[in-house]
A and B are shown apart, each in its own frame.
Chain A
Amino acid sequence: MPDISPAPPVQDPFPPDRFAGPVVQADQLDVRYGKNVALNNVTAVFPTGAVGLLGPNGAGKSTLLKSLLGFLVPVKGSMKVLGLDVASSALEIRERIGYMPESDAHIPGMNAVTFVAYCGQLSGLPAVDAMQRAHEVLYYVGLGEARYRNIETYSTGMKQRIKLAQAIVHDPDLLFLDEPTNGMDPKGREEMLELIHDLAHNKNVNLILSSHLLPDVEYTCDHVVVMDKGTVSTCGPIAALKGSHGTVYELRVKGEQDRFIEVLRAAGYEVADTDEDVMRVFVPGGSHHGPKELFALASRQQIQVRHLRLSMPTLEDVFAKAVGEA
């Protein structure tokens, strides 16, 4: 008699419930390199989804990621990744995360598919599964045609892609991406950002993207943690941070721009210089009288306003305010 038992239910290839709670929690974290303080009392919560870790060079972004990986032992504080304590469960954490380092990194003497499969095996995948997934992820990152080439012959952009491939081959719950677009040409950068966006928003991979490039974070992430000088300057959903910032006006005046900036700052406005003599003036809150107030100030100082336009607040504004560049 033929077997007429019902077929097993088809599993959703991208079930959304990878991890429900905050993917990373850092509590009063202090990390030092000898006498140099790299992280100073860092407390931050990284929610699920795509989170940008923003900051200028030397802000402590990479140090934070390396601490979360267990490479650096903090002198104070605690960290949890995927609900597990970094100090006591580093291996269990590393089994569930993928790390794409900032610097050029590969295992010498291997072609791409061998390298990625090897990384899969090191992460616990059986050899056959690791090889199958290596082929798949290499196609995914756009290296399908070059997968039998030795990695040492790869261009910088290809090396960035292979680093992403080795980080996702074992299907991690959380990805750490450290400056993933470094050294890439504009087209390659765009493709890399597209991949990261796709991973985060279509494949439900939680990720933390460390970058000093604001557009990269703005395009790929929903939340942001801004770091400066080893501390967290601000954090939250990008949309909320931009919205709570008030109104931004682009302003150009005739002559004595520096003096007018000082006047604006004295009047309590935040001003950021941009190129081409245009300044961005932040008017806090939801006041609709911003233009009137700006014209009045200029009039009192006998300065001619040549250009005034309402502008959309950007992540750059959030960043500038957070790191005190305004």
Chain B
Amino acid sequence: MPIHDQGYRRYLGTRSAIGGSWQVMTRAGVMALISKRQFIGLMLFAWAPFVVRAVQIYVSATFTQASFLAPKGETFREFLDQQGAFVFFVTIWVGAGLIANDRRANALQLYLSKPMTSAEYIAGKLTILLVFLVGVTFLPAMMLLLTQAMFAGSLTFIANNLYLLPAITLFSIAQVLLAATTMLALSSLSKSSRFVAVMYTGLFFFTTALFNALRGITGRSSFAWLSPSASLEQLGDVIFRLEPRYQLSPAIAGLAVVVMIAGSIWILTRKVRGVEIVT
């Protein structure tokens, strides 16, 4: 009997309900990334600012001479600002190839021939990026807040700055959603992950450079909406109850971020298809 006669049989086991495929994708994507040492190195490095801040909190809580180092509400804002650099690198590392590699290998038609909608595909890919971005923004910021309470031995700081909990959550959401959706949209536009990385870097630096050039020429910072990162900074200042750094209405800054996210999702819905139609 040929070996292939022995190798195929009917499957009589259970099947999971339709709608859970995105979780399979996310699990596979996350596992693939955490199996890479260099990436683990980057993630650990992204927690270095947390360690520094934790030491700062410990010193200020332990030694009265160092009380000037005690954290304030804006400490957490500064911390999330610093994490912006890691958000940038993690976004490029994780996100550049998420859809571009699938497009290069014609994998979209395989995915979408399974019981999975394009929305589920996008959700699965987006969640991979969100998991790691939350891991370098929201998670360390919240850990820092808990560390403060732990070293201080009381919840007084948290009680006095209760707005920090929603502020950290809200700003982290804006930060990771903006980065993740923008990167995923760019990734869906090309078959080369390197090109996507260059596009993302270009978008980031070009818009910031354009804003700074206009700021230099006009002497006004009301063009901050041109730069997604500047808009996010402006939004962050408002969320953390700080003096806004640009002459831009927070509503316009928020709108710029929302438009960027919505535009990215629109691109994704246009590009993630089982068949590419060129007319």
Chain A interface (Cβ < 8 Å from any Cβ of B):
11, 13-15, 33-36, 66, 69-72, 91-92, 94-95, 97, 99, 101, 103-109, 118-119, 121-126, 129, 133, 136-137, 139-142, 144, 166, 168, 170-171, 194-195, 198-199, 202-203
- Given A105-B105, A108-B101, decide whether A122 and B116 contact each other with a Cβ distance below 8 A: yes
* Partner of B274 from A35, A69, A198, A199 at Cβ < 8 Å: A69
Residues of A within 8 A of B279 (CB): 33-36
Residues of A within 8 A of B10 (CB): 13-15, 171
Contact B106 A105 (CB under 8 A): yes
Contact A91 B7 (CB under 8 A): no
Residues of A within 8 A of B113 (CB): 69, 94, 97, 99, 101
Name B's interface SS. loop
Nearest chain-A residue to B8 (Cβ)? A140
The smallest beta-carbon distance between B195 and chain A, in angstroms, is 16
Contact B114 A123 (CB under 8 A): yes
Residues of A within 8 A of B24 (CB): 118, 121-122
* Partner of A139 from B3, B18, B25, B273 at Cβ < 8 Å: B3
- Given A69-B274, A121-B24, decide whether A168 and B8 contact each other with a Cβ distance below 8 A: yes
* Partner of B105 from A108, A199, A203 at Cβ < 8 Å: A108
Contact A107 B102 (CB under 8 A): yes
Counting from the closest, the 9 A-B pairs by CB-CB distance are A34-B279, A140-B7, A71-B274, A171-B11, A124-B15, A99-B113, A105-B106, A95-B115, A122-B114
A69 to B6, CA, bound (A): 30
Chain B interface (Cβ < 8 Å from any Cβ of A):
3-18, 20-21, 24-25, 28, 32, 97, 101-102, 104-107, 109-117, 273-275, 277, 279
Residues of A within 8 A of B110 (CB): 99, 101, 105-107, 119, 166
Contact B274 A66 (CB under 8 A): yes
Residues of A within 8 A of B5 (CB): 198, 202
Residues of A within 8 A of B112 (CB): 69, 71
Contact A125 B15 (CB under 8 A): yes
Residues of A within 8 A of B109 (CB): 71, 99, 101, 103, 105
A119 to B9, CA, bound (A): 17
- Given A33-B279, A106-B105, A109-B101, decide whether A136 and B7 contact each other with a Cβ distance below 8 A: yes
